[in-house]
């Protein structure tokens, strides 16, 4: 948020002109003056209206995004560089241009600022690094026989959504228990329409088999209503209703029916027990607490819906140096609710500096009133205290892990004889089965552990075994490595030739031996890249862990003590690359195996393919259909029906 980097006053420790530790080095002073001059020139035509400003570096990338009630007054504060903390002095020194967007109000500016920060991730803004979508439970509304399914992504499908849940595991557990309590179908529409007898889910009492008429539409609809009521927080009412039915069935000696009701009640109780602490009267609320320590921050968010605890998620925002807990919380709230619908109540551990403005912006985006409340007493205060304690403990664990990681990086740099401790390590591996579905994988590690957002995969472009020289043939591991390195570092040269953006590795680690190391160096030399350290780690005899050999350029193979923590660290890096490569290869192989014969027909896209499968139930049934039957499918014209029929008819006579 804009307030998170507000210039400090002359009385602040880092802002005093006489504080020598805070001043930039003499070599930077000229850049700082140039940056201030850029801002001064921009101020001449800058309006006093509300809006959003972006400071850009020489590559055109956003350094900082901020909002202002008055653009000219806000940006003018950066021109007085002596009053800025060191971090912002660096930002001004890198600024070569300023862009502004005017808005009708400060609320609109706040919404636009949060959106741009999430999209551009400027290096001087507090930003979320792990803001994946949350899973929901969906009761579908686009079919006569609704499903209960896990759903993630834009809520575009018709139906009722319940959540968010903090993790996919929590949703899966809840759905499994829901199918015991409310045996609704979970199969796809095509499977549902093609069934002629009940599936296994019916046999284990997790589905009522509406596909073959084992339950009436009225009874199924009643069960859907009960599931909806249960997820809406009326669990006690539904349990009481089922208990009455169980007792009534027992009194009429219908013990099998009574046992079925008993099992459903047990399943509902299981769901409630897994939801942990619930709080009556809370309704829909998010509990957000922040803890700041050692220039790092941790945010804990707990989600309550219909008085039920749907779990929690931990976040570690980036670029939180010199930011107060309130500033971090304000930035988090603004960005988090760009992609998540805010509840009516948000409990916070710190009152954001612009709480009233945030409330107005969130209410506008949600279409209903949203309140930010910092509790001072009672059960709500206890919730905040629990969340704050969790944030403090999570940050403590992360700081301890970071210290260990830094020590391992220093040890690795020393063991390999590097000039400096590596801050970014890229590890490469290939995976294939006899040359098929070959993929290359790159994982990245740094001072804070594995950087999964930077992982990359490369689909290897293989040729036939009798291809001309220079092509990659199936099973050619050296050729695969050449392609991966050529694509990776060729792109780096185009995107960042001056190595100014921190995307270049300090160390490249290869799963292999001297041959792979030589191939990698040959590729880098052909691209004119000289200053990237390379190392290869080969498995020991009989692939025994602890006996690995490390190959370096110009040195004899290095063997570390089997109990050396640096060796364990290298093994972990290599194993992560191997895991990622194997997982990517399996996904590609699975996708190829699941490919439908309909994919081979020119002119049949996803929509027509879906219509054909829904109508006939399977690709095999499509292949056996006549032209007249094909024309009855919505979206299939006479010409398309003929094309499909001829494709399968010709295939049988090849």
Q: Which of 17-31, 413-427, 546-560 is most confident?
A: 413-427
Distance between CA atoms of residues 632 and 617, nearest Å? 14
Name the 3-class secondary structure at 102: strand
Q: Which CATH architecture has domain 425-592?
A: 2-Layer Sandwich (3.30)
Contact status, residue 335 vs residue 127, Cβ threshold 8 Å: yes
Per-residue model confidence (pLDDT) at position 1: 40
Please name which of 592, 589, 584 lies closest in space to residue 430, comparing C-alpha atoms.
Answer: 584
Contact status, residue 181 vs residue 230, Cβ threshold 8 Å: yes
Q: Which two tokens stand for residue 186?
A: 């979970």
Q: Give per-residue pLDDT as tens, 32-71.
A: 888 899 999 999 999 999 999 999 998 888 999 999 999 9
Instruction: List b or e across 557-573, with b for residues whose CB sees 16 or more CB atoms inside 10 angstroms.
Output: eeebeeeeebbebbeeb
Residue 435 has pLDDT above 70, yes or no: no
Per-residue model confidence (pLDDT) at position 540: 67
Kindly indicate the confidence band of residue 654, based on its pLDDT and cuts at 50, 70 and 90. very low
Kindly indicate the confidence band of residue 268, based on its pLDDT and cuts at 50, 70 and 90. low
Q: Which CATH architecture has domain 2-120?
A: 3-Layer(aba) Sandwich (3.40)
What fold characterizes domain 285-397? Nucleotidyltransferase; domain 5 (3.30.420)
Distance between CA atoms of residues 459 and 437, nearest Å? 8
H or E stretch covering 590: helix 565-593
Average pLDDT (538-561) is 78
Domain coordinates in residue numbering, the chain: 2-120, 136-274, 285-397, 425-592, 597-652
Kindly indicate the confidence band of residue 252, based on its pLDDT and cuts at 50, 70 and 90. confident
Kindly indicate the confidence band of residue 82, based on its pLDDT and cuts at 50, 70 and 90. confident
Distance between CA atoms of residues 267 and 262, nearest Å? 9
Kindly indicate the confidence band of residue 373, based on its pLDDT and cuts at 50, 70 and 90. very high
Q: Give per-residue pLDDT as tens, 99-120.
A: 999 999 999 999 899 889 888 8
Please name which of 63, 172, 10 lies closest in space to residue 501, comparing C-alpha atoms.
Answer: 63
Q: Which comes out higher in pLDDT, residue 499 or 325?
A: 325
> pLDDT above 70 covers what percent of the chain?
85
Distance between CA atoms of residues 443 and 450, nearest Å? 8
Distance between CA atoms of residues 143 and 158, nearest Å? 9
On the CB side of 567, CA atoms within 13 Å amount to 17
Residue 123 has pLDDT above 50, yes or no: yes
**What mean pLDDT, rounded, does the chain reach?**
81
Kindly indicate the confidence band of residue 253, based on its pLDDT and cuts at 50, 70 and 90. confident
Q: Could you check whether 285-397 and 425-592 share the same CATH topology? A: yes
Superfamily of domain 597-652 in CATH is 5' to 3' exonuclease, C-terminal subdomain (1.10.150.20)
Distance between CA atoms of residues 40 and 34, nearest Å? 10
Q: Which comes out higher in pLDDT, residue 279 or 537?
A: 537
Name the 3-class secondary structure at 127: strand
Per-residue model confidence (pLDDT) at position 206: 82
Residue 324 has pLDDT above 70, yes or no: yes
Q: Give per-residue pLDDT as tens, 587-631.
A: 776 665 555 667 777 778 878 887 887 777 677 778 888 888 888
């Amino acid at each position: 948020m804009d307030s998170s980097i507000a210039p400090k006053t002359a009385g602040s420790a880092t802002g005093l002109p006489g504080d020598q530790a805070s001043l930039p080095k003499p070599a930077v002073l000229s850049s700082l003056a140039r940056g201030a001059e850029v801002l001064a020139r921009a101020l001449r035509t800058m309006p006093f209206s509300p809006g959003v400003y972006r400071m850009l570096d020489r590559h055109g990338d956003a350094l900082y995004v901020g909002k202002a009630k008055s653009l000219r007054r806000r940006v003018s504060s950066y021109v007085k560089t002596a009053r800025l903390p060191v971090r912002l002095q660096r930002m001004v020194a890198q600024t070569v241009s300023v862009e502004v967007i005017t808005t009708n109000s400060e609320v609109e500016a706040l919404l636009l600022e949060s959106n741009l920060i999430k999209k551009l991730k400027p290096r001087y803004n507090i930003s979320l690094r792990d803001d994946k979508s949350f899973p929901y439970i969906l009761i579908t509304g686009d079919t006569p026989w609704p499903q209960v399914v896990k759903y993630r992504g834009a809520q575009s499908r018709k139906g009722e959504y319940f959540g968010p849940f903090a993790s996919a595991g929590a949703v899966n557990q809840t759905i499994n228990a829901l199918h015991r309590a409310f045996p609704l179908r979970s199969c796809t529409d095509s499977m549902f329409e093609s069934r002629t007898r009940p599936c296994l889910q019916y046999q284990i009492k997790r589905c009522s088999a509406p596909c073959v008429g084992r339950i009436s539409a009225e009874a199924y609809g009643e069960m859907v209503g009960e599931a909806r009521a249960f997820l809406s927080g009326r669990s006690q009412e539904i349990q009481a209703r089922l208990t009455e039915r169980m007792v009534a069935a027992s009194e009429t000696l219908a013990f099998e029916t009574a046992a079925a009701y008993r099992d459903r009640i047990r399943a509902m109780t299981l769901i409630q027990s897994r939801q942990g602490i619930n709080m009556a009267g809370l309704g829909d609320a998010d509990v957000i607490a922040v803890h700041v320590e050692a220039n790092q921050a941790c945010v804990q968010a707990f989600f309550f819906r219909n008085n039920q605890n749907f779990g929690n998620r931990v976040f570690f925002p980036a670029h939180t140096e010199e930011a107060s807990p309130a500033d971090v919380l304000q930035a988090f709230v603004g960005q988090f609710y760009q992609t998540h619908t805010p509840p009516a109540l948000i409990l916070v551990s710190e009152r954001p500096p612009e709480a009233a403005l945030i409330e107005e912006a969130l209410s506008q985006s949600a279409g209903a009133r949203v309140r930010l409340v910092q509790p001072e007493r009672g059960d709500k205060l206890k919730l905040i205290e629990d969340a704050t304690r969790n944030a403090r403990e999570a940050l403590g664990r992360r700081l301890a892990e970071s210290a260990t990681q830094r020590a391992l990086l220093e040890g690795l740099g020393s063991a390999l004889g590097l000039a400096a401790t590596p801050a970014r390590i890229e590890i490469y591996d290939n995976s294939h089965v006899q040359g098929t579905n070959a993929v290359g994988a790159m994982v990245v590690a740094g001072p804070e552990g594995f950087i999964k957002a930077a992982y990359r995969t490369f689909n290897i472009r293989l040729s036939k075994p009798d291809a001309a020289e220079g092509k990659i043939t199936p099973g050619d591991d050296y050729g695969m490595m050449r392609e991966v390195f050529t694509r990776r570092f060729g792109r780096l040269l185009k995107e960042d030739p001056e190595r100014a953006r921190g995307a270049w590795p300090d160390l490249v680690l290869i799963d292999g031996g001297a041959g792979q190391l030589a191939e990698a160096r040959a590729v880098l030399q052909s691209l004119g890249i000289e200053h990237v350290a390379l190392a290869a780690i080969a498995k020991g005899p009989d692939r025994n862990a602890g006996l690995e050999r490390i190959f370096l350029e110009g040195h004899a193979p290095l063997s570390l003590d089997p109990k050396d923590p640096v060796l364990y660290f290298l093994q972990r890096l290599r194993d992560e690359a191997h895991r990622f490569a194997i997982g990517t290869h399996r996904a590609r192989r699975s996708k190829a195996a699941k490919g439908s014969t309909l994919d081979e027909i020119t002119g049949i896209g996803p929509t027509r393919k879906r219509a054909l499968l829904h109508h006939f139930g399977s690709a095999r049934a499509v292949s056996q259909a006549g032209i007249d039957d094909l024309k009855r499918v919505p979206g299939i014209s006479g010409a398309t029906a003929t094309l499909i029929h001829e494709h399968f008819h010709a295939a049988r006579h090849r």
